[in-house]
Amino acid sequence: MKRWQAVVAYVIIPGIDGSDEQHWQTLWEHQWGTSAVRISPASWSAPDLDDWVNAVQTAYDDACRKDSRVVLVAHSLGCWAASTWLNKNPASPIHGAFLVAPPDPQGPAFPRRAAPTFIELSAHPLPCSALVVGSTNDPYCTPEAAVDFAERWAARWHPAGACGHINSAGGLGPWPHGRELLDSLTRL
């Protein structure tokens, strides 16, 4: 007898400028087809937190029309948009938040001029299961800071090794290890 597996709708929340065609988020989005919804903020290159949080809401609403099990899949600055949206909407039925390579808003490499509305953010416990994945050599966040974010978000932590900013520049392609991690979060 086959075990029934619920369908999941994914909200894709990239970082600044979105994820290019070689980024694991984009490759996964293509695999998921209509089960995935990407945020569409007006401020991709000069991120405005309110605009991004509103874009998460719009994508979430669209994803809910596809399935009741919604998972947020965030990368980089998108992790902060996701966590801010989650904390503003604690009663929303989110199945999980997959937060990859969150940048440190207080770190020296944070794009302060491009994303000034993100600078004062801090991590607070999330109202859903969450997994933070970080790299040992991410130029935007030390492993110690990423562990601290995971703890303050009340999320599981997973060190991914030396993968840079865990983006297309690292040559991860479809990042099979990341899919295994996401699957561990979304299992019933």
Task: Assign residue 130 the CATH number of its domain.
Answer: 3.40.50.1820
> Residue 4 falls within a domain, yes or no?
no
Looking at per-residue pLDDT, the higher value among 118 and 186 belongs to: 118
Closest by CA position to 153, among listed 65, 83, 101, 85: 83
Q: 38-52, 58-72, 139-153, 166-180: which has the minimum mean pLDDT?
A: 58-72
Which run of H or E residues covers position 97? strand 94-100
Q: Confirm whether 70 is domain-assigned.
A: yes
Tens of pLDDT, residue by residue over 130-170, are 999 999 999 999 999 999 999 999 999 999 999 999 999 98
pLDDT number for residue 79 = 98
Task: Quote the CA–CA distance of 169 and 188 in Å, as a whole number.
Answer: 33
Tokens of 54: 């509103």
In a domain, 106, yes or no: yes
**pLDDT tier, 1 (very low <50, low <70, confident <90, very high otherwise):** very low
98 part of a folded domain: yes
Q: Which domain holds residue 19?
A: 9-186
Q: What is the dihedral of CA 181, 182, 185, 188, to 10 degrees?
A: -120
Rounded Cα–Cα distance for residues 103 and 145 (Å) = 9
Q: Pick from 155, 168, 151: which is nearest to 76 by CA?
A: 168
Looking at the structure of the chain, the number of domains it has is 1
Contact 85/97 with Cβ under 8 angstroms? Answer: no
Note whether residue 1 is domain-resident.
no
Please determine, for residue 122, whether its predicted confidence score (pLDDT) is greater than 50: yes
Give the mean pLDDT of 44-63. Answer: 97
Asked whether residue 148 is assigned to any structural domain, the reply reads: yes
Torsion from C-alpha of 163, 167, 171, 176, nearest 10 degrees: 80
Is 78 part of any domain? Answer: yes
> What's the confidence (pLDDT) of residue 186?
85
pTM: 0.95
pLDDT > 90 in the chain, percent: 90
